[in-house]
Structure 1
Amino acid sequence: MRESVTKVFYISLAIAILFIVWGVVPEETWPNWNLNEVTGNIQGFLVSKFGWFYLLSATSFLIFAAFLVVSKYGNIVLGKDGDEPEYNYLTWFGMLFSAGMGIGLVFWGAAEPISHFNAPPYDVEGQSEAGRVAMRYSFFHWGLHPWGIYAILALALAYFQFRKDYPGLISSTLKPLFGDKMDNTYGTVVNTIAVFATIFGVATSLGLGAQQISSGLGFVNENLENTVNLQLIIIAVVTVLFMLSALTGLNRGIKYLSTTNIILMFVLFAFMLFAGPTNFIMNYFTTTLGSYVQNLPSMSFRTTPFSPENTEWLEGWTIFYWAWWIAWAPFVGMFIARVSRGRTVREFVIGVLLVPTIFGALWFSAFGGSAISLEYHHDMNIQSVVEEVGEEGALFTVLENYPFSLITTLLTILLISTFFITSADSATFVLGMQTTGGSLNPNLRVKLSWGVVQSATAAVLLWQGGLGALQTASIIAAFPFAFVLILIIFSLVKAFREEARNYPLRRKKREE
Structure 2
Amino acid sequence: MNQPKNSLSSVSKDLPERTDKGSEASMTTDSLSTVAASDGPTVYQPKKGGRAPSGGSQAYSRTFMREISEYPHGIHPALVPGVSIEDQKVRYGLDKGIIAVVGVFVVGFIVWGVAAPHQVYDVTTAALNWVMTNLGWVFSVVAIGMVLFLLFLAFTKYGKIPLGLDGDAPEFSTGSWAAMLFGAGIGIGIIFFGPLEPLTHYVSPLPGMYEPASVAAVKGAMVQSALHWGINAWAIYAIVGLAVAYVSYRRGRVPLMSSILTSLWGGDSNSLGARIIDGLAIVATLFGTAASLGIGALQIGRGFQLVTGWSTEANTIALITIIVLTIGTIISAVSGVSKGIRLLSNINMALAICLAAFIFLVGPTVFLANIIPGVITEYFAELPRMLSATTADSPEIREFLSSWTIFYWAWWVSWAPFVGVFVAKISKGRTIRQFVFGVLLIPSTIIILAFTILGGTAIWLQREYGELIPGNDPLQIPPAQDVFFLVLDYLPGHQFVAPVVMVMLAVFFITSADSASLVNSQLSQKGNPNPNRLITAFWAIAMAGIAVVMLLMGGQDALQGLQNLITITALPFSVVIIFMAIALYRELHTDPMVIRYSFAKAAVSNAIVHGIEEHGDNFEIAVAPVEPDSDRAAGADFDSTAEEVTEWYTRTDEDGNVVEYDYEAGEYVEDEDQVDGRAQTESDERGGSL
TM-score (norm 1): 0.93
- The residue that corresponds to 2:466 in the other structure is 380
In percent, how many aligned pairs have the same letter? Answer: 36
Partners of 1:347 and 1:250 in 2: CA distance: 32
- The residue that corresponds to 1:11 in the other structure is 101
Are residues 1:54 and 2:147 paired?
Answer: no
- TM-aligned CA deviation for residue 379 of structure 1: 2.6
Query: Match for 2:386: what amino acid?
Result: M
Distance 1:332 1:498, change over 3 A: same
User: Which is further off, 186-195 or 305-314?
Assistant: 305-314
Partners of 1:412 and 1:67 in 2: CA distance: 41
Distance 1:326 1:453, change over 3 A: same
Equivalent residue in structure 2 for 1:223, among 310, 333, 341: 310
Partners of 2:370 and 2:202 in 1: CA distance: 17
Equivalent residue in structure 2 for 1:397, among 486, 490, 512: 486
Distance 1:503 1:443, change over 3 A: farther
- The residue that corresponds to 1:498 in the other structure is 590
After TM superposition, list the pairs within 5 Å mapping 1:329-478 onto structure 2: 329-376=416-463, 378-384=464-470, 387=476, 389-465=478-554, 466-478=558-570
- TM-aligned CA deviation for residue 269 of structure 1: 0.6
Distance 1:410 1:234, change over 3 A: same
Partners of 1:447 and 1:311 in 2: CA distance: 39
Partners of 1:497 and 1:267 in 2: CA distance: 45
- TM-aligned CA deviation for residue 249 of structure 1: 4.9
**In the alignment, is the contact (CA less than 8 A) between 1:158 and 1:337 conserved in 2?**
yes
Kindly provide the CA deviation profile for residues 268-303 of structure 1, in whole angstroms up to 9, marking residues without a partner as x. 011011111112112211101101111112212212
Partners of 1:11 and 1:88 in 2: CA distance: 41
Q: Which ranges in structure 2 are unaligned for 5 or more consecutive residues?
A: 1-91, 601-622, 624-662, 665-690
Query: Match for 1:36: what amino acid?
Result: Y
Kindly provide the CA deviation profile for residues 153-198 of structure 1, in whole angstroms up to 9, marking residues without a partner as x. 0110111012111111100001221110653111011111111001
Equivalent residue in structure 1 for 2:207, among 122, 134, 139: 122
- TM-aligned CA deviation for residue 225 of structure 1: 3.4
Distance 1:470 1:436, change over 3 A: same
**In the alignment, is the contact (CA less than 8 A) between 1:95 and 1:254 conserved in 2?**
no
Residues matched between the structures, number: 503
**In the alignment, is the contact (CA less than 8 A) between 1:218 and 1:226 conserved in 2?**
no
SS in 1 for 2:466: coil
Partners of 2:328 and 2:573 in 1: CA distance: 30
Equivalent residue in structure 2 for 1:260, among 325, 339, 347: 347
User: Which is further off, 49-58 or 381-390?
Assistant: 381-390
Partners of 2:477 and 2:162 in 1: CA distance: 52
- The residue that corresponds to 1:165 in the other structure is 252
- TM-aligned CA deviation for residue 442 of structure 1: 0.9
SS in 1 for 2:328: helix
Partners of 2:193 and 2:346 in 1: CA distance: 22
**In the alignment, is the contact (CA less than 8 A) between 1:285 and 1:361 conserved in 2?**
no
- TM-aligned CA deviation for residue 335 of structure 1: 2.2
**In the alignment, is the contact (CA less than 8 A) between 1:39 and 1:472 conserved in 2?**
yes
- TM-aligned CA deviation for residue 234 of structure 1: 0.4
User: Which is further off, 443-452 or 88-97?
Assistant: 88-97
- TM-aligned CA deviation for residue 391 of structure 1: 1.0
Distance 1:249 1:94, change over 3 A: farther
Partners of 2:147 and 2:337 in 1: CA distance: 29
TM-score (norm 2): 0.69
- TM-aligned CA deviation for residue 100 of structure 1: 4.2
**In the alignment, is the contact (CA less than 8 A) between 2:93 and 2:525 conserved in 1?**
no
Query: Match for 1:26: what amino acid?
Result: A
Distance 1:152 1:388, change over 3 A: closer
SS in 1 for 2:403: helix
User: Which is further off, 94-103 or 359-368?
Assistant: 94-103
Distance 1:439 1:181, change over 3 A: closer
Query: Match for 1:263: what amino acid?
Result: A
Partners of 2:145 and 2:507 in 1: CA distance: 33
Equivalent residue in structure 2 for 1:22, among 104, 112, 134: 112
Partners of 2:455 and 2:276 in 1: CA distance: 41
Kindly provide the CA deviation profile for residues 75-119 of structure 1, in whole angstroms up to 9, marking residues without a partner as x. 222122233333444554454444445111111000000101111
- The residue that corresponds to 1:42 in the other structure is 127
Query: Match for 2:101: what amino acid?
Result: I
Query: Match for 2:580: what amino acid?
Result: I
User: Which is further off, 498-507 or 362-371?
Assistant: 498-507
Distance 1:482 1:250, change over 3 A: farther
Are residues 1:239 and 2:326 paired?
Answer: yes
Equivalent residue in structure 2 for 1:85, among 170, 177, 186: 170
Query: Match for 2:584: what amino acid?
Result: L
Kindly provide the CA deviation profile for residues 235-261 of structure 1, in whole angstroms up to 9, marking residues without a partner as x. 111112222333465961453233123
- The residue that corresponds to 2:56 in the other structure is none
Query: Match for 1:356: what amino acid?
Result: P
Distance 1:207 1:425, change over 3 A: same
Partners of 1:217 and 1:97 in 2: CA distance: 28
Which structure: larger Rg?
Answer: 2
**In the alignment, is the contact (CA less than 8 A) between 1:174 and 1:182 conserved in 2?**
no
Partners of 1:225 and 1:345 in 2: CA distance: 52
Query: Match for 1:380: what amino acid?
Result: G
Distance 1:232 1:90, change over 3 A: farther
Distance 1:253 1:145, change over 3 A: farther
- The residue that corresponds to 2:371 in the other structure is 284
**In the alignment, is the contact (CA less than 8 A) between 2:259 and 2:268 conserved in 1?**
no
Partners of 1:334 and 1:3 in 2: CA distance: 19
**In the alignment, is the contact (CA less than 8 A) between 2:162 and 2:432 conserved in 1?**
yes
- TM-aligned CA deviation for residue 43 of structure 1: 0.8
- TM-aligned CA deviation for residue 20 of structure 1: 0.9
SS in 1 for 2:590: helix
Partners of 2:513 and 2:170 in 1: CA distance: 25
User: Which is further off, 384-393 or 172-181?
Assistant: 384-393
Distance 1:315 1:505, change over 3 A: closer
**In the alignment, is the contact (CA less than 8 A) between 1:94 and 1:258 conserved in 2?**
no
Partners of 2:242 and 2:421 in 1: CA distance: 9
Distance 1:443 1:426, change over 3 A: same
After TM superposition, list the pairs within 5 Å mapping 1:207-222 onto structure 2: 207-222=294-309
Partners of 1:294 and 1:437 in 2: CA distance: 44
**In the alignment, is the contact (CA less than 8 A) between 1:91 and 1:255 conserved in 2?**
no
SS in 2 for 1:78: coil
Partners of 1:94 and 1:244 in 2: CA distance: 27
- The residue that corresponds to 1:303 in the other structure is 390
Distance 1:277 1:388, change over 3 A: closer
Q: Which ranges in structure 1 are unaligned for 5 or more consecutive residues?
A: none
Distance 1:250 1:169, change over 3 A: farther
User: Which is further off, 429-438 or 114-123?
Assistant: 114-123
